[in-house]
């Protein structure tokens, strides 16, 4: 009997539907001929808690730290025991096993750890599916691979899981205990990704709070030229009081020049015109989609991920969504026209855009060399029933289809124009652009283009018909929202000060992964470290205090982004995990040595931030620890909260 183990029930159903023969359900599986298709429910196993290694660790004590397992153990998740038992029973009957986890690091881990945990010693094949439509699944079933080829991917995921446990368990216990000593009643969770993300928000909020607006002044003129009118702006010479961005800091020079301008004339001293072509934006990765959907539709990162999962699993309208790639396989190019015709026929807007597509075009999006375990998000070709989609699902679907459809539109062509006028011996500048061919742009436009400059000729005269001085102020940085925080996590090198690390991180995948970024934001909200103010994400007092109390290295992105590089080396270059884990343990010891009650007390006293919304207390029959609070040795009452990753 062949046993196929899928990552989740929806994938198991898609596999069973693609197998020849009639399918019937049995306990924990679908039977099709001599094949049984069973499933996990996400992770069926998790890292064992500290007290599984030593019962003494059930009590939280600083002198236990760091807790370092010698022989790692997994334990079933409480709600997964029934399905785990079903897989155990099926494995006893199997002659071959097929691993059908999602085609990524975590998908490799969560099925393979079950196979190892249940003691299977026989052959294992690997089934890679990124599209749940029947033709794609049939094709994947015909091209099974040897699971041994993916052992380095498994080791990377296993190493990530162990490293997260070491980091989260030890630092969360340490800072919770010193927090108790400093008067904070509750768990202070620390994670290798969530804490640097919180640090980004806390530091941005601090910049906003400390910001001192500075006035500056701008002078504009409306000019009459040979073929119309335009507005130009004064560029003061360096002898005027300017800031580092060339803004005028004192009003009198602008006011004095404005008083001389009525009736003045000059000439167009220099005209620059450059013809430019701009290709369509690439198809989406998940994070790029989350950024655009947040900006356009005010959707949270989690709402976009949930919509994508539904479009993939329930409606089968898009390919695998948790992708970090923005390119498509070259082999998909010949199938794209049929897929887009199917995807667009259920929607008036998409159908109109389809009419402008030229399928003889080939953009740079089709590139096998840029495709890894996943390709960019794309429509499967299934015709959508838009009446069955929620507003969020419909909007996200249109974005995904639009970005693939745009690959068959011509480039945007425009002429960029820069004009410099000399009037009364002063420099005035104007710039604009003239659209020559809108190409793909109408599919993306949300507002009208600014009117182009009139036709200009270098040396022509210009007369002042109006002028004015505007008094402005510098503005603080914008608070993070879902779009900007996801973008910051994608481009984390911008927030790194060390030049060498910055260069290295420009080539990395950023902070977190496509599959985890939305969850990280939601975790910080659930734990009361962030709050939403309309669309803005702001730190709470507790979140700000935690960042202030931690060593700076624990709240900055360098460490965790470099972690991802080390894990990638394990996955792609078969690097050994042990040097990475040994280095992490050395780091942990240094961080634990920095746990300081006085610093925690000071942070709790001085932290600036918002109040977290009150959360309902969870009923529990567990007795409170009778240990003395002031020693920091008692187990906190809220220990049941999950330790972060």
Tell me the average pLDDT across 174-198: 95
Between the alpha carbon of residue 48 and those of residues 3, 30, 45, 73, 627, the distances in Å are 27, 30, 9, 6, 24
pLDDT, one tens digit per residue, over 497-537 is 877 777 767 766 678 888 889 999 999 999 999 999 989 99
| Whether 642 contacts 46, CB under 8 Å | no
Residue 428 has pLDDT above 80, yes or no: yes
Residue 628 has pLDDT above 60, yes or no: no
286-408: CATH topology:
Topoisomerase I; domain 4 (1.10.290)
> In this predicted structure, what is the pLDDT of residue 487?
94
DSSP letter at 623?
P
What are the structural domain ranges in the chain?
2-143, 159-210+478-631, 215-279+412-473, 286-408
> In this predicted structure, what is the pLDDT of residue 507?
66
Q: How far apart are CA 35 and CA 39, in angstroms?
A: 13
Closest CA to 416 of 279, 227, 272, 231: 272
| Whether 261 contacts 464, CB under 8 Å | yes
Q: Would you tell me how many other CB atoms lie within 10 Å of the CB of residue 390? A: 12
The pTM of the full predicted model, rounded to 2 decimals, is 0.88
pLDDT, one tens digit per residue, over 353-410 is 999 999 999 999 999 888 877 899 999 999 999 999 999 999 999 999 999 999 999 9
Q: Which CATH class is domain 215-279+412-473?
A: mainly beta
Q: pLDDT band at 633, cuts 50/70/90?
A: very low
> In this predicted structure, what is the pLDDT of residue 371?
86
pLDDT, one tens digit per residue, over 236-286 is 999 999 999 999 999 999 999 999 999 999 999 999 999 999 999 999 999
Residue 125 has pLDDT above 70, yes or no: yes
Query: Domain spanning 2-143 has what CATH number?
Result: 3.40.50.140
Cis preceding linkage at 412, omega within 30: no
pLDDT, one tens digit per residue, over 308-365 is 999 999 999 999 898 889 999 998 899 999 999 999 998 999 999 999 999 999 999 9
Q: How far apart are CA 156 and CA 162, in angstroms?
A: 10
Q: Percentage of the chain surpassing pLDDT 90?
A: 80
Could you please report the per-residue DSSP string of 455-493? Answer: P--TT-EEEEEEEEEEEEE--PPPPPBHHHHHHHHHTGG
Q: How many CA atoms lie within 13 A of 239 on its CB side?
A: 2
* Residue 327 a catalytic site member: no
3-state SS of the chain: helix, strand, coil percent to 5?
45, 20, 40
Q: How far apart are CA 50 and CA 487, in angstroms?
A: 36
Residue 302 has pLDDT above 70, yes or no: yes
Catalytic member of 312, 320, 327, 495? 320
Query: Domain spanning 159-210+478-631 has what CATH number?
Result: 1.10.460.10
Give the chain's count of helices (H) and strands (E): 19, 17
Q: Percentage of the chain surpassing pLDDT 70?
A: 94
| Whether 140 contacts 22, CB under 8 Å | no
């Amino acid at each position: 009997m062949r046993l196929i183990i899928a990552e989740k029930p929806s994938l198991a159903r898609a596999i069973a539907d693609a197998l020849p023969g009639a399918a019937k359900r049995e306990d924990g599986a679908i039977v099709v001929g001599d094949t049984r298709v069973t499933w996990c429910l996400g992770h069926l196993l998790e890292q064992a808690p500290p007290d599984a290694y030593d019962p003494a660790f059930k009590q939280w004590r600083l002198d236990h730290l760091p807790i370092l397992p010698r022989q790692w153990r997994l334990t079933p998740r409480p709600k997964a025991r029934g399905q785990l038992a079903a897989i155990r029973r099926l494995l006893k009957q199997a002659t071959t096993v097929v691993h059908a986890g999602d085609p990524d690091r975590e998908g490799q881990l969560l099925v393979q750890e079950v196979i190892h945990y249940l003691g299977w010693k026989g052959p294992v094949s690997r089934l890679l599916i990124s599209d749940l439509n029947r033709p794609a699944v049939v094709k994947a079933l015909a091209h099974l691979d040897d699971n041994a080829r993916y052992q380095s991917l498994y080791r990377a995921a296993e190493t990530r899981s162990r490293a997260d446990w070491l980091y989260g368990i030890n630092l969360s216990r340490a800072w919770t205990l010193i927090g108790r000593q400093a008067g904070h009643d509750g768990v202070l969770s620390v994670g290798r990704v969530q804490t640097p993300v919180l640090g980004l928000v806390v530091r941005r909020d601090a910049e906003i709070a400390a910001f001192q607006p500075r006035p500056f002044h701008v002078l504009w003129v409306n000019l009459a030229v040979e073929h119309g009118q335009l507005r130009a702006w004064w560029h003061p010479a360096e002898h005027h009081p300017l800031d580092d961005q060339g803004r005028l800091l004192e009003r009198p020079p602008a006011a004095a020049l404005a008083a001389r301008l009525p009736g003045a004339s000059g000439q167009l001293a220099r005209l620059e015109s450059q013809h430019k072509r701009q290709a369509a934006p690439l198809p989406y990765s998940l994070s790029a989609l989350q950024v655009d959907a947040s900006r356009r539709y005010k959707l949270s990162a989690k709402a976009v991920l949930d919509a994508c999962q539904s479009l993939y699993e329930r409606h089968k309208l898009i390919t695998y969504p948790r992708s970090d790639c923005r390119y498509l396989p070259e082999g998909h190019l010949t199938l794209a026209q049929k897929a887009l015709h199917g995807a667009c026929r259920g929607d008036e807007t998409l159908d109109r855009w389809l009419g402008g597509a030229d399928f003889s075009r080939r953009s740079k999006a089709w590139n096998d060399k840029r495709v890894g375990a996943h390709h960019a998000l794309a429509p499967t070709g299934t015709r959508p029933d838009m009446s069955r989609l929620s507003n969020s699902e419909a909007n996200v679907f249109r974005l995904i289809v639009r970005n693939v459809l745009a690959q068959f539109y011509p480039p945007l062509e425009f002429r960029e124009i820069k004009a410099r006028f000399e009037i009364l011996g002063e420099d005035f500048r104007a710039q604009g652009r003239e659209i020559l061919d809108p190409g793909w742009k109408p599919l993306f436009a949300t507002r009208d283009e600014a009117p182009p400059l009139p036709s200009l000729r270098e040396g022509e005269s210009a007369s002042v018909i109006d002028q004015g001085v505007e008094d402005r102020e510098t503005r603080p940085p914008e608070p993070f929202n879902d779009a900007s925080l996801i973008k910051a996590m994608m481009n984390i090198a911008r927030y790194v000060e060390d030049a060498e690390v910055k260069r290295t991180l420009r080539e990395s995948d950023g902070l977190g992964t496509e599959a985890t970024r939305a969850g990280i934001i939601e975790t910080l909200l659930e734990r009361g470290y962030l709050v939403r103010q309309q669309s803005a994400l702001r730190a709470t007092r507790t979140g700000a205090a935690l960042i202030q109390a931690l060593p700076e290295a624990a709240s900055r992105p360098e460490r965790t982004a470099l972690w991802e590089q080390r894990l990638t080396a394990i996955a792609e270059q078969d690097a050994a995990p042990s040097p990475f884990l040994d280095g992490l343990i050395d780091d942990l010891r240094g961080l634990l040595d920095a746990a300081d009650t006085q610093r925690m007390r000071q942070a709790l006293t001085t932290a600036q931030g918002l109040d977290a919304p009150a959360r309902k207390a969870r009923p529990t029959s567990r007795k409170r620890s009778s240990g003395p609070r002031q020693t920091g040795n008692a187990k906190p009452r809220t220990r049941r909260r999950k330790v972060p990753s």
